[in-house]
Amino acid sequence: MQIKKVCCFGAGYVGGPTMAVMASKCPEQLFVVYDINQQQINKWNNKQYPVYEENLDEYINQTIGKNLIFTCDIDLALKDCDIAFLAVNTPSKQFGMGAGSSLDISYIDSCIQDIKQYTLTKKLILVEKSTVPIKTCDYINAILQNKNICVLSNPEFLAEGTAIQDLLNPDRVIIGGPIESSKQLASLYEQWIPKDKIIFTNIYSAELSKIVANSFLAQRVSSINSISIICDKIGADVNEISQCVGSDTRIGNKFLKTSVGFGGSCLKKDLLCLIYLCESLQLDEVAQYWKQVYLLNEFQKQRFINLIITSMFNSLKNKIIVILGVSFKAKTNDTRESASLIIIKKLQEEQAILRIYDPQGKIDNIEQYQSLDGIFQGASAIVILTEWEEFIKIDYSQAFNQMAKPAYCFDGRNLLSGDLMKSLGFLYYGLGRV
Ligand code: NAD
Ligand code: UGA
């Protein structure tokens, strides 16, 4: 089968950028991105992208109107389609059994119902690109009961903020499922990705690999954050520990930055999904092992909140606190599960007056500063929660002069030089650093 047309359910953080890059690398194929949300589709079509990613506009401009279409018309998406990606959201389930840990696949469900009702005129390769619970492929097959549809698992590993780079040059592409269809899907990727980076696996391994990869990443952050807590007690420097430990090539130096806790829509939900899987397999010791990774992350956020409140003598009422960063990491506008959300909530409970700024991220129903102009005037504290480069470049000497005294700085990303900040007069607190 020669692949001529590809569609994608879901025009979000994954569907939009992934299809834009694919369309630019596969000019012979047509890519139709379908979403039930008309507003979302309008944004893509009107250059007001719902996703902020470096160089994304370049890839959309190259392809939109040529071989890339964003639409709410399911016929346009499925008619004569050879490959359909499912890139819809799979959040933590919020109700019933497994609430708060299992993944909610109801959005996948409704895609499958749409496909089941559609009269397909040719064979279809249906690809799980969303992160799904293990054996979702069996569930999909049981619903569809259609020999002309072959289900594959092809999880996505892009990280927000570096999505385009990750899509152009992924560490690996995993394709799980029947080999003939897997090779057809691989033929798309082979148009820009070296063959040796494409790994063929059985379908359960592909599904599980995604959950495991995110859980390992979460584990790295919790590991270094746990060490930051020890450093705070003994006067060692966690940044130095990261460097010393990460120089061992067996350990590697990535994902060893201590922080106020990992956020984002996926690390936590996928880690919780792994814990739920262990529990449902009655593997209690394994579940406990992974649960600690999650609990440590919650503890790290709480620890930072306590640090702010106790350092300011439990007296934040009517004090102005500048919050720098609401995105869950730099270079993205995404605030889902950002540590900032809980920290802002707790500081509001203390009745502090918050001035919040982020170059891209916006939180619903909270007023934010559009720039840093005037933000430090009369403030008692600066709280850094996202590692935007813009925050390194601030003239902190000028900020200090404008602030009330004592002037505190709580650096939840170890972004600044503690020595420099202290020399300017700040009461500076980083994580795991003297
Ligand atoms: P998202 O919320 O940004 O986008 C999902 C889109 O799917 C929304 O626009 C929604 O309207 C649409 N949708 C829901 N039901 C639909 C339906 N029945 N038909 C068509 N469209 C429908 O989600 P996301 O961040 O792109 O994540 C999608 C999946 O990819 C999740 O499983 C996630 O775990 C996984 N993932 C996300 C990332 C990431 O960086 N965000 C990276 C890798 C994997
Ligand atoms: C993560 C994975 O990195 C992607 O491979 C995966 O595809 C994606 O989840 C997903 O499934 O959605 P993402 O959540 O976009 O990507 O961002 P990460 O770079 O993983 O960062 C997650 C959180 O960990 C952020 O809050 C970040 O600030 C924090 N982090 C990361 C640290 O605190 N320290 C580090 O050293 C690295």
Say yes or no: 256 and 395 in one domain: yes
pLDDT digits (tens, 9 = 90+) for 304-353: 999 999 999 999 999 999 999 999 999 999 999 999 999 999 999 999 99
Do 191 and 269 have their domain in common? no
Residue 174 within any structural domain of the chain: yes
**What are 55-72's pLDDT values in tens digits?**
999 999 999 999 999 999
Last residue of a domain, one of 182, 201, 220: 201
Alpha-carbon radius of gyration of the chain: 23
Nearest to 323 by CA among 412, 418, 424, 257: 412
Number of domains into which the chain is organized: 2
Is 84 within a domain? yes
Taking the CA of residue 155 as reference, the ligand 2 atom at the shortest distance is: 7
Q: Are residues 257 and 178 in the same domain?
A: no
CB distance 261 to ligand 2 below 6 Å: no
| Residue ending a domain, choose from 201, 219, 243 | 201
Is the same domain home to 187 and 294? no
| Residues annotated as catalytic (active site), given as ranges | 156, 210, 266
Q: Is residue 217 part of a domain?
A: no
Same domain, 151 and 248: no
Q: Is residue 132, in this structure, part of any structural domain at all?
A: yes
Write out pLDDT tens, residues 346-365.
999 999 999 999 999 999 99
Same domain for 194 and 248?
no
Q: Same domain, yes or no, for 250 and 358?
A: yes
pLDDT score recorded for residue 424 = 98
Q: Which residues pair with 198 in a beta bridge?
A: 173
* 228 belongs to a structural domain: no
Measured from the Cα of 265, ligand 1's closest atom is 41
Residue 376 within any structural domain of the chain? yes
Judge if 136 and 264 occupy the same domain. Answer: no
Q: Which of 179, 201, 223 is at the close of a domain?
A: 201
To the question of pTM greater than 0.80 for the whole model, the response is: yes
**DSSP codes joined into one string, 18-83:** HHHHHHHH-TTSEEEEE-S-HHHHHHHHTT--SS--TTHHHHHHHHBTTTEEEES-HHHHHTT-SE
CATH number assigned to the domain comprising residue 308: 3.40.50.720
225 inside domain: no
**ipTM of predicted assembly, 2 dp:** 0.98
State which of 221, 245, 338 you would mutate to test the pocket of ligand 2, scoring each by most atoms of that ligand within 8 A of its C-beta. Answer: 221
Question: Would you give the distance in Å from CA 141 to the centre of its chain?
Answer: 29
Q: Are residues 395 and 248 in the same domain?
A: yes
Q: How confident is the model at residue 145 (pLDDT cuts 50, 70, 90)?
A: very high
382 - beta bridge partners?
322, 409
Q: Is a pLDDT exceeding 90 seen at residue 80? A: yes
With respect to residue 39, please indicate whether it lies within any of the assigned structural domains. Answer: yes
Query: pLDDT value at position 248?
Result: 98
Domain assignment of residue 165, given as a range: 5-201
Average pLDDT value for residue range 65-82: 97
Which atom of ligand 1 is nearest the CA belonging to 51? 3
Residue 286 and residue 141 in one domain: no
| 283 and 367 together in one domain | yes
Residue 390 and residue 256 share a domain: yes
What pLDDT shows up at residue 166? 98
Q: Is the peptide bond prior to 50 cis by the omega test (within 30 degrees of 0)?
A: no
Looking at residue 40, what is its pLDDT?
97
Ligand nearest to the CA of 213: 2
Query: What local confidence, expressed as pLDDT, does residue 434 receive?
Result: 75
